[in-house]
Amino acid sequence: MCGFAGLWLPSAPTEQLLEAQAIAMAAALSHRGPDDAGVWCEPQLGLALGHRRLAILDRSAAGHQPMHSAPGRYVIAFNGEIYNHLDLRRELEACGAAPPWRGHSDTETLLAAIEAWGLEPALQRCSGMFALALWDRRERRLQLARDRFGEKPLYWGFSGCGSERALLFGSELAALRAWPGFNNPIHRPALAQLLRFTAIAAPTSIYSGIEQLLPGHLVSIQAPLAGELPQPRPWWCFRQMVSESLAEPFVSEADGLTALEAALSTAVRQQSQADVPFGAFLSGGIDSSLITALLQAQSSRPVRTFTIGFEASGFDEAPHARAVAAHLGTDHCETVLTSAAARELIPRLPRLYSEPFADSSQLPTHLVCREARRSGLTVALSGDGGDELFGGYNRYFWGPRLWNRLAWLPWPLRRALGRAIRSLPPAGWDALARPLPVHHPGHKAHKLAERLAYVRHGDDLYRSLVSEWRDPASLLQTADGDPVREPSSPLDWPLPAELASDQGGATPGQQAARMMAFDSLNYLPNDILTKVDRAAMAASLETRAPFLDHHVAAVAWRLPMAMKIRPGRHGSTSKWALRQLLYRHVPPELIERPKAGFAMPIGLWLRGPLRPWAEDLLDPGAMRRQGFLRPEPIQLLWRQHLSGRFDHTTRLWSVLMWQAWLAEWG
């Protein structure tokens, strides 16, 4: 895991200046790569690459970047891991295309594969997570590429003016901002998208003129650098993978479980390769417990596992993780974090996330990564991707069922029902639902009530469930009075034809499949993977997600929905297939409990110790002067939240994270 940055400035006056600017951009990413730094220039063209290295495979100088291919044609700056690189080496050797190996890094393997087959065919052979910048010295062509699911970030675009206009690219916006001529203004539509999703969806970024490269895409930029950039194109397509998988469903559950176990075991084996201490995050839930169990089954000694506990018992899953670790026989490490330590981190979040980001689980995620790094780990396996691929979120089963039961109600009756639900504060619903295995039922009931009045069909319901502000553009100040239009997001893209249109009476299973596909295209890369990448890299920790191996994903989409969400007498069972595999290693009684999520009592803190910090950021006069958000609707929600009758934590957090980011970077 590393970080890289680059610039293409055709009018660069000297090689020394070009190199200095690339070094400064890469230095902004030092947290991503504390072990080594490198720079390379093509001064005649004004191109430079800078790199910061977190050494995982081949910690010697043979892994230094930017790296040249053996014949010297290609130069690469690479961030990530190619898990099957040893298989690629054997394939290259078998066909006589292997160079004399200088070391055993996956970057060297990738360069040799590109020399032999070209960039796109090489990437299609790779299992891994990555972003890269590749310079072809013979063709004078720069290529940028990103992995299939978007585990690793890549920003790119023009900045500067006139003859000083440059193409910038890098792993984080902090690197692009470090270029002295950076002058891109705030992109207001991206702010509206942040308020809706709590994250900004690729290809948009918070700056006009700067984009995020979409997952599974690459772009080729030919010298001489022109005024208009070419459009990226896909080298791998999620929709095509889904279509091909749905066309070949498993005939029997036994076949499906066998194929899933084989794919996951292979992914875990490949992703456990490292020349540094590695282990696994273990929350005691299904996903992390299964990854840990498969990792321990392949290891001749106890695997290192890590979890953190919290002071607030309602948020503490450490005892469950401890029980699973004891059963599996892992070398388990547990650290209890205080509320004071968590609150101390909050003002620093905008620096950790160099683009505004507002999923409040960013806080415990970074604390877990930080403590794991302090305990000696450099690489940790995680269970990310399990929910999106195997039906883990509650909305997948209660959303379609609820909509199918309520869709026949006329809009006035649905609106009245929503008002009735909201007449009882969240604490009241929590009290009524206390005997039920539901986490925070009051907040969920109010969230549902707000959406009953305006959804028209199942896709509408899904969009509303993942939207925090229903009309975020209405919160924005505009200079000319014209409304701000939100940018397109993956929720606006067509899904594979095999996932029946939601407009024509899709079954609950088909609706759930559509939700899972939308989450894989939007929520997973733009929220979950962004959160984990920034949280881990801020601690110089590499995280790996075996569920996101593309072979595992293909198997997951071949499973019938009943192997993911299984209806039962007492409600639906999520992630059924994963449970069956896990029960081969861990007794069900250690796993079966309500899904608690990964959260902290931020809503309570906003009414207590965080209130001065929040009120300073939400000051109406300051917000008017900044010129981005209208303070009136935000102040209304703030007063309601302070009253204790309503819980507006998520919506307020998106505003607070924007305001804090603006104070840090604006």
pTM of the predicted structure, to 2 decimals? 0.94
Distance separating alpha carbons of residues 199 and 523, to the nearest angstrom: 9
Enter the tokens of residue 389. 């691929």
Residue positions annotated with a catalytic role:
2
Mean pLDDT of the chain: 91
Looking at the domain assignment, is residue 134 inside a domain?
Answer: yes
Pairing of strands 304-310, 331-337: parallel
Residue showing tokens 């892994």:
63
Per-residue pLDDT tens over the stretch 154-192: 999 999 998 889 999 999 999 999 999 999 999 999 999
Q: Provide the 10 A C-beta neighbour count for residue 93.
A: 12
Q: Give the CA count within 13 Å in the CB-facing half-sphere of 322.
A: 9
Looking at the domain assignment, is residue 484 inside a domain?
Answer: no
**325 shares a domain with 244:** yes
**Sign of CA pseudo-dihedral 345, 346, 351, 352:** positive
**256 shares a domain with 188:** no
Instruction: Fill in the DSSP letter of residue 393.
Output: S
**349 shares a domain with 219:** no
Per-residue pLDDT tens over the stretch 101-113: 999 999 999 999 9
- Of 236, 256, 282, which residue sits at a domain end? 236
**59 shares a domain with 30:** yes
Mean pLDDT for 255-274 is 96
- Number of domains comprising the chain: 3
**270 shares a domain with 231:** no
**211 shares a domain with 290:** no
Distance separating alpha carbons of residues 7 and 169, to the nearest angstrom: 6
Enter the tokens of residue 607. 């009414």
Q: Exposure string (b/e) for 501-531, b if CB count within 10 Å is 16 or more?
A: ebeeebebbbbbbbbbbbbbbbbbbbbbbbb
Domain that holds residue 274: 239-390+510-590
Looking at the domain assignment, is residue 8 inside a domain?
Answer: yes
**648 shares a domain with 567:** no
Residue showing tokens 């409040």:
360
User: Is the pLDDT assigned to residue 538 strictly greater than 80?
Assistant: yes
Looking at the domain assignment, is residue 378 inside a domain?
Answer: yes
**Residue 145: which CATH number?**
3.60.20.10
Per-residue pLDDT tens over the stretch 541-592: 999 999 999 999 999 999 999 999 998 766 788 999 999 999 999 999 998 8
What's phi and psi for 272, nearest 5 deg? Answer: -95, 10
**36 shares a domain with 88:** yes
**Residue 386: which CATH number?**
3.40.50.620
**261 shares a domain with 143:** no
